[in-house]
Chains A and B, each alone.
Chain A
Amino acid sequence: EAQVTQNPRYLITVTGKKLTVTCSQNMNHEYMSWYRQDPGLGLRQIYYSMNVEVTDKGDVPEGYKVSRKEKRNFPLILESPSPNQTSLYFCASKGQGEVPGELFFGEGSRLTVL
């Protein structure tokens, strides 16, 4: 089954404790992206990657890092989480060859930073 898998789905952590949210897709997609979704603000892009070893900032990259060492994985790293990073996070992927292709989203990771 074609899917984007995020882990963990739910996480409560404390300020300053480094964490990584993993994202993996099994569709051989070149493009992957991270969004955060907050009430009243909608989906905002954090980082995206057009292919392996190619990443770029979205609209709200501060406080986040990403890496794309393999095509299927695109982890989101919070080096020193702060309460304003409490949010619902979504990873998404898309096949480059089908531009304009549909975005496939993961089920989301709800993060709470105390």
Chain B
Amino acid sequence: SQKIEQNSEALNIQEGKTATLTCNYTNYSPAYLQWYRQDPGRGPVFLLLIRENEKEKRKERLKVTFDTTLKQSLFHITASQPADSATYLCALRRGGSQGNLIFGKGTKLSVKP
């Protein structure tokens, strides 16, 4: 069956450092992958989408890579700030469906001042 794994439940880093979050998937060849941010008690908010033919995507301090050989996406936040503290979710389109997403369990990022 299709699986999405975000390797770390939690990641603690110091302000100003680069945070790197990992999303791995198995039994799957998604056409694209998405990353969302979720603050406590709130709904997830879309951040970035990267397609299978794109190696890298950037948006301000965010960078996402997509390696279809390794079946892995890396999500980077450069010059991290305490305001970046949140849970980050990766999502893939469910195989055989039209835009139906399944989500990883998320990585809780804490940025300490």
Residue A75 CB within 8 A of the other chain: no
| Majority DSSP secondary structure for residues of B touching A | strand
Contacting residues of chain B (7-36) with chain A, CB-CB under 8 angstroms:
31-32, 34, 36
- Contact in complex: B99, A96 (CB < 8 Å): yes
List of B residues within 8 angstroms of A59 by Cβ:
102
List of A residues within 8 angstroms of B82 by Cβ:
none
Cβ proximity bits A73-114 to B, threshold 8 Å, 1 near / 0 not: 000000000000000101010101001111111111010000
Given the interface pairs A42-B105, A42-B106, A43-B89, the reply to whether A102 lies near B46 with Cβ below 8 Å is yes
- Contact in complex: A42, B42 (CB < 8 Å): no
Q: Write the chain A residue with the least CB distance to B46.
A: A102
- Contact in complex: B99, A101 (CB < 8 Å): yes
List of B residues within 8 angstroms of A43 by Cβ:
44, 89, 103
- Contact in complex: A107, B49 (CB < 8 Å): no
How distant is B73 from chain A, measured CB to nearest CB, in Å?
Answer: 14
List of A residues within 8 angstroms of B49 by Cβ:
100, 102
- Contact in complex: B43, A100 (CB < 8 Å): no
Interface size on A, residues (CB 8 A): 29
List of B residues within 8 angstroms of A88 by Cβ:
41
Interface size on B, residues (CB 8 A): 24
**Assembly CA distance A99 to B42 (angstroms):** 24
Residue A34 CB within 8 A of the other chain: no
Q: Write the chain A residue with the least CB distance to B45.
A: A105
Q: Write the chain B residue with the least CB distance to A58.
A: B100
Given the interface pairs A105-B44, A108-B41, A108-B43, the reply to whether A99 lies near B99 with Cβ below 8 Å is yes
Residue A45 CB within 8 A of the other chain: yes
- Contact in complex: B105, A40 (CB < 8 Å): yes
Residue B71 CB within 8 A of the other chain: no
Contacting residues of chain B (75-113) with chain A, CB-CB under 8 angstroms:
89, 91, 93, 98-106
List of B residues within 8 angstroms of A107 by Cβ:
42-43
How distant is B52 from chain A, measured CB to nearest CB, in Å?
Answer: 11
